[in-house]
Amino acid sequence: MNNKDECVCCSGPKLVFSCSGAADVGELSDRIARQINRNGTGTMFCMAGLGGSVSGILKSTESASKILAIDGCSLDCTKRSLVNSGFNEFEHIRLTDYGIKKGNLNLTDELLLQLIQQCEDRIV
């Protein structure tokens, strides 16, 4: 097969957008996204740039092979920002769906590792 016949459908980056809000669950969302980035499973990308309609961020997001949205709570700011920017095909995780309580974060190392794994499983 020559280069022009190769499949490029999955060659785009795997992007991770996260809530980074003021609440503890927003901070946790950000922390998980940064760990996924460090692990090399996905590339953390700029939520503010997406919300601000920055053309380069939008173009890069359009070229993604997969997108993961990590929200801390049921407000789903990350998910809403993606949808408002015209993106409807993405994986979504809400941390409060895993028994975490906003404002009362009782995070163990084991739970953190489980959450990271759940997120990584969605983007591979």
Residues 17, 82 contacting (CB under 8 angstroms): yes
Residue 38 predicted with pLDDT over 60: yes
Q: How many domains does the chain contain in total?
A: 1
Q: What are phi and psi of 42, to 5 degrees?
A: -155, 170
Is the pLDDT score of 57 beyond 70? Answer: yes
Using 50, 70 and 90 to split pLDDT, how confident is the model at 97? very high
List the domain range (segments joined by +) for residue 22.
3-123
Residue 9 pLDDT class (50, 70, 90 cuts)? low
Confidence class of residue 21 from pLDDT cuts 50, 70 and 90?
confident
- 10 secondary structure, DSSP code: T
CA dist 47 and 57 (Å) reads 9
Q: What is the pTM of this model?
A: 0.89
b/e map 11-22, b = 16+ CB within 10 Å = eeebbbbbbbbe
Q: Residue 26 in 3-state DSSP?
A: helix
